[in-house]
Amino acid sequence: MPDTPAAPAVLDAARLRALTREFLAAHPPAGTDRLDFLRARFDAGLAWVHYPEGLGGLGAPRSLQAVVDAELEAAGAPDNDPRRIGIGLGMAAPTILQYGTPEQRRRFLRPLWTGEEVWCQLFSEPGAGSDLAALGTRAVPGDGGDWVVDGQKVWTSSAHLARWAILIARTDPAVPKHRGITYFVCDMTDPGVEVRPLRQITGEAEFNEVFLTGVRIPDSRRLGAVGEGWRVAQTTLNNERVAIGGMRLPREGGMIGPVARTWRERPELRTHDLHQRLLKLWVDAEVSRLTAERLRQQLVAGQPGPEGAGMKLAFARLNQEISGLEVELLGEEGLLYDDWTMRRPELVDFTGREAGYRYLRSKGNSIEGGTSEVLLNIVAERVLGLPAEPRTDKDVAWKDLAR
């Protein structure tokens, strides 16, 4: 009788740990080029283990990613600089995985994960920020199956660094605003794409406005069906809020860390009132950190839901309260700021800068990734089940809306 094929090994924590160690033996971090290592890690399925085989994963439970990460960190392996490519990792990748064609997944996911290609997000517009569904950027069919896109986007992080963008545009103005939107992948190097810096209160220009003039996008770079862009965009937006509000931090990580250090190292600054406020914010920061960990555990069961809106809302409020306390604790020293010249940073550095910078930069936390006002509505309606606000424009064709 022919031999019976052996059953495949069950991918539990022990098996995944063994696979990671085998990979490290074949690709020792100290002797392997960083990019070669990252590419090999993706190809071995150890990039995001819950993704399908061939797309950076092994089809394993999402919770086992921590097993892989711990082994790689202990071996001194390079990471993919996740803060630099956060929009690609946290927003573009899950959308491409869910709605992309097999060809799109193969083309985009690997260089996205290795950091070879940076992504940005072309959603908000000057007249469609909080009310994103009111967007007016148009995409009309062109010759040869292309789409021709004209419009303006704003508050676009990393557009000056990005090769690709996730873009939503209106393809049918004769239907209500939440319909008639289509989702595309836009090449930021194409003719007609112009990126202009937006200087912020910190002096930095990490955000941009992007002008699209006759930009031609092949239909092969459309994600989802024509007119179904709003549904596709919900995947992006839910993942965006989790990416911002659910960041993994150690205890006293994030904004609370510098304040706690200052408190311990500068006893002459302490007062009873500041002590009470610091204790409250320290507890709030720890509760937020543990809640974010619980939210990540819930993601194991499926796609992120509206709960991410609550985490992002809490993140923004907490950062602003902590930065305000830090400035007050330091007094005149807290108002100092070193450099107002315009800079184009790749990363936002919250902890390596002075208190004045943190105070100013945190003001954007309640705007970026969805304004706090919109997130309050999401929490009220989709988490708490409260009655929705009246929306008189819900069934009106976009072209008939007052603008």
pLDDT band at 241 (very low <50, low <70, confident <90, very high): low
pLDDT (mean) for 3-10: 47
**Residue of 102, 91, 118, 104 lying closest to 370 (CA atoms):** 91
Query: pTM of the entire structure?
Result: 0.86
Question: 89 near 82, Cβ under 8 Å?
Answer: yes
More confident of the two residues 88 and 388: 88
Domains of the chain: 17-79 (no CATH), 119-227 (2.40.110.10), 246-383 (1.20.140.10)
Distance of CA 204 to the CA centre of its chain: 20
pLDDT bracket for residue 5 (50, 70, 90): very low
Query: By the 8 A CB rule, do 171 and 142 touch?
Result: no
With residue 195 as reference, give the H or E element that holds it.
strand 193-198
Tens of pLDDT, residue by residue over 112-141, are 999 999 999 999 999 887 789 999 999 999
Question: Is 113:42 a contact under the CB 8 Å cutoff?
Answer: yes
E strand or H helix at 197: strand 193-198
Active site residues: 240
* pLDDT on residue 1: 43
Cα 247–chain centre separation: 10
Query: Residue 10: exposed, middle, or buried by beta-carbon count in 10 A (0-12, 13-18, 19+)?
Result: exposed
CA distance 209 to 269: 42
User: Average pLDDT of 213-222?
Assistant: 98
DSSP 287-337: HHHHHHHHHHHHGGGSS--THHHHHHHHHHHHHHHHHHHHHHHHGGGGG--
Distances (CA, A) of 237 to 34, 99, 110, 231, 337: 31, 14, 22, 10, 33
Q: Kindly tell me if the per-residue pLDDT of 325 is higher than 50.
A: yes
- β-pairing, 164-170 with 119-122? parallel
Place of tokens 């955000």: 207
Residue 254 has a pLDDT of 83
Query: d(Cα 273, Cα 295) in Å, to the nearest integer?
Result: 33
**Mean pLDDT across the chain:** 89
Give the angle 5-11-13 at the CA atoms, nearest 5°. Answer: 145
Q: 137-185: per-residue pLDDT in tens?
A: 999 999 888 999 999 999 999 999 999 999 999 999 999 999 999 999 9
pLDDT tens for 289-320 read: 888 777 766 655 555 566 677 788 888 999 99
| 329 pLDDT higher than 80 | yes
Distance between CA 96 and CA 145 in Å, rounded? 21
Q: Band the pLDDT of 23: cuts 50, 70, 90.
A: very high
352-395 pLDDT tens trace: 788 988 899 898 888 877 788 888 888 888 778 899 888 888 88
Mean pLDDT computed over 13-26: 96
Strand 207-218 and strand 146-153: the pairing is: antiparallel
pLDDT at residue 2, as a whole number: 46
Angle in degrees, CA 209, 213, 219, rounded to 5: 105
Rounded Cα distance between 167 and 123, Å, is 6
* Buried b or exposed e, range 389-398, using 16+ CB within 10 angstroms: eeeebeeeeb
245: number of Cβ within 10 Å: 26
What is the 8-class DSSP label of residue 7?
P
Task: Determine the pLDDT at residue 113.
Answer: 98
CA proximity to 235, closest of 183, 275, 193, 272: 183
Centroid of chain to Cα 317 = 18
Q: How far from each other are the two terminal CA atoms of the chain, in whole angstroms? A: 77
Hey, what's the torsion of the CAs at 24, 29, 35, 36, to 10 degrees? Answer: -50
- The two tokens of residue 261 are 């250090």
pLDDT digit string (tens) for 242-258?
666 556 677 888 889 99
